[in-house]
Structure 1
Amino acid sequence: MAQREPTASAAPQREAGGRAGRRRAAPALLTAGLLAALLVLVLLSAGIGAYGIPLGDIIGSVRHRAGLGGAELDRVAESVLWNVRLPRVVLAVLIGASLGCAGALMQGVFGNPLAEPAVIGISSGAAVGAASSITLGLTFFGNWTVTACAFVTGLATVLLVYAMSRSGGRTEVVTLILTGIAVNAFAMALIGLCVFFADSAQLTQITFWQLGSLAQATWPKVLAVLPCAAAGLLAAPLYARKLDLLSLGERPARHLGVDVERLRVALVVVVALLTAAAVAVAGIISFVGLLVPHLLRMAAGPGHRFLVPGSALGGAVVLVAADLAARTIAQPAELPLGVLTALVGSPFFFWLLRRTRRRQGGWA
């Protein structure tokens, strides 16, 4: 019996099937690659610095602390590793994961790839609290006063933006964004007043906080971020399916059973928890929540089942790498972390913008 010749459309179909197969495999490969990169960066960051610690010593010390054998290091190396390096590394992982995940959620909620947590005023609100507490000389929480004020004002700003943008029991995306822009402008004016009235020492402290840094990382600060970060990171993937439905449009999402208003409220709260805790401890660190979801969306598609947890993992990788670079590029000086992420992120985001416009004719 003669074999049937393949039709003209068979080759394109096979090519499309191959692309679909690669797209389905991409999340697993990316997850494995990000986990491997994070592990390598954590070990490098723990060992590299003014006081170098060999990789074998790091692993041996961790095993010793965990009761799995190994050996304790000498007093100086043990102190540097456990009191300086590891708190900083763990804090970078938590903050990077929080910012990356928050960026993915914001872009999903607004349906806008330019959205990030700063849009709804979290960062500027937290900066107002920090600057005010420094200028007024508040000390009611001791060394935690600046952090506590930044966290409270960051959350309060989000609630204010959301309350001001509601009308008739609904919240429109455009109104929410415009309200956030107005509140951001007002917050910057308040920060300007704080700077005007601050003395030279207070001005230096405000500037250092606004530039973003993990130089003051300690285990208590890790514990301060951990509850909010854990709650937000555990809750975020639960909304992945609804975000996929929301990406079809508000009306189709409602027809498919999604309570869009309740979803927005829940995700704004999750984003506020993730971002306010991160900003309160580390200052303003930009572009992590904007770029990481973009890159993963380009590599694995727009599905939020991977994008939300993947952005958390990618954010952790980016921030650990950025912090390692910030404290080693200009040794013995240390670059501000927020400045470094902005210096690298701005041209990279411009490249993404040009690439998308060239390939798709715009962001839509």
Structure 2
Amino acid sequence: MRLGLPTLILLLAAFLALSITAGVSFGAAPIPFATVWSIVADKLYAGLFPITWSGGQESIVWDVRFPRVILALLVGAGLAVTGAVLQALTRNPLADPHLLGVSSGAAFGAILALLHTGLVLGLLTVPLFSFAGALLATAAVALVTRLTRARSADRLVLSGVAVAFVFTALGNLLIFLGDPRAANTVVFWMLGGLGLAQWQHLIYPAGVLLVCLAVLMLKSRELNALAMGDETAATLGIAVSQFRFLLFVVTALLTGVMVAFSGAIGFIGLMVPHFVRLFVGGDNVRVVPLSAAFGALTLIWADIAARLIMAPEDMPIGIVTGLVGGIAFILILRES
């Protein structure tokens, strides 16, 4: 089923507003929708509504759940866009930052910063180390692909899986060598979670997402050409090697920063682009921005499920996406 783009945008905007409201409202202590938006409106413009809520409700909405939902939106959008670009770039429907080892590299960099170097660069330490790890893993996949002369899509995925195992092992080694008390926190973080979201930190994933998404949308027509083959892209005047390098750097940056703030959350980048293509086809001019929207929605609802399944405890969100994504992965394998 294909929907017109304006209709789809309106539906997505309405559902996104509903999802954000639900994400702030649902939890161990549910808060009515009307109260949620009254609190938000009061924070944005004091005195707009009479105060009928408690201080505890205000703290839950504004200090805990709202930044968490916004972080879910940003991370889901970033990972989904990365998956869409990697699938077109590698011409492989199974490509995503998790399978290609990029997430594992980002997690390795973040663990190194959290357990061994400390915040030597302030709040930017973990995002920068995570980006460096993601870029290193991307380079490792390219190197393994070149050394093994892997040409087919399935061999590329196997190269990524091998690199992911290596960086996962290195990350586990860093945990083993680190402070056991801090290691428990890192292990929980590796399973994926949004519980540490804070307003003052959201500027970093938001800024990176806006810049990278703008670049990828501007380059989406060139990405269409590259998806048809290097020869086709070169015929159209695209400098293939430089363009591929740019895309790898942008996707590594997106993955690294998102993993730094949410932990390793798998399968969003694999599932969402396939779902988007069912509605709008394979044109990346549409797939890239709509993957961002659907990725945001997917992770918001995955986070709601993670909070409600074992309430009042938070289940790591990576468990939810892993269970759903694993089933989706099997279905994709069946169809591919």
TM-score by length of 2: 0.88
Q: Which has the higher contact order (CA 8 A, sep 6+)?
A: 2
Query: How far apart are the structure 2 equivalents of 1:204 and 1:211?
Result: 11
Match of 1:34 in 2: 12
Once the two structures are TM-superposed, the CA of residue 234 in structure 1 deviates from its matched residue by 1.6
Unaligned runs of 5+ in 1: 1-21, 357-362
Match of 1:99 among 79, 90, 99: 79
Q: 1:124 to 1:139 in 2, by over 3 A?
A: same
1:291 aligns with 2:271: yes
Contact 2:28 2:307 in 1 (8 A): no
Paired amino acid for 2:326: S
Match of 2:239 among 249, 254, 259: 259
Higher mean C-alpha deviation, range 272-281 or range 253-262: 253-262
SS at match of 1:314: helix
Contact 2:191 2:316 in 1 (8 A): yes
1:339 aligns with 2:316: no
1:306 aligns with 2:306: no
Match of 1:270 in 2: 250
Unaligned runs of 5+ in 2: none
Q: Which runs of 4+ in 1 moved over 6 A?
A: 163-167, 171-176
Contact 2:128 2:257 in 1 (8 A): no
Query: How far apart are the structure 2 equivalents of 1:75 and 1:205?
Result: 29
Contact 2:127 2:260 in 1 (8 A): yes
Query: How far apart are the structure 2 equivalents of 1:229 and 1:138?
Result: 25
Match of 2:49 in 1: 70
Count how many residue pairs are aligned between Structure 1 and Structure 2: 331
1:164-313 residue pairs with structure 2 within 5 A? 180-313=160-293
Contact 1:107 1:113 in 2 (8 A): yes
Query: How far apart are the structure 1 equivalents of 2:31 and 2:201?
Result: 24
SS at match of 2:98: helix
Once the two structures are TM-superposed, the CA of residue 180 in structure 1 deviates from its matched residue by 4.1
Query: How far apart are the structure 2 equivalents of 1:352 and 1:159?
Result: 27
Contact 2:127 2:256 in 1 (8 A): no
- After superposition, the CA RMSD in angstroms is 2.7
Q: 1:163 to 1:221 in 2, by over 3 A?
A: farther
Query: How far apart are the structure 1 equivalents of 2:131 and 2:216?
Result: 20
Once the two structures are TM-superposed, the CA of residue 165 in structure 1 deviates from its matched residue by 6.2
Q: 1:249 to 1:152 in 2, by over 3 A?
A: closer
Query: How far apart are the structure 2 equivalents of 1:159 and 1:138?
Result: 25
- The structure number with the bigger radius of gyration is 1
Once the two structures are TM-superposed, the CA of residue 38 in structure 1 deviates from its matched residue by 1.5
Once the two structures are TM-superposed, the CA of residue 164 in structure 1 deviates from its matched residue by 7.3
Paired amino acid for 1:70: F
Once the two structures are TM-superposed, the CA of residue 332 in structure 1 deviates from its matched residue by 1.1
SS at match of 1:344: helix
Once the two structures are TM-superposed, the CA of residue 228 in structure 1 deviates from its matched residue by 0.9
Residues 292-321 of structure 1, C-alpha deviations (whole Å, 9 max, x = no match): 000111222111111110000000000000
Query: How far apart are the structure 2 equivalents of 1:198 and 1:134?
Result: 9
Once the two structures are TM-superposed, the CA of residue 28 in structure 1 deviates from its matched residue by 3.6
Could you tell me the percent identity over the aligned residues?
35
Match of 1:57 in 2: 35
Residues 171-211 of structure 1, C-alpha deviations (whole Å, 9 max, x = no match): 97869766544433321221232233345423312311210
Paired amino acid for 1:342: G
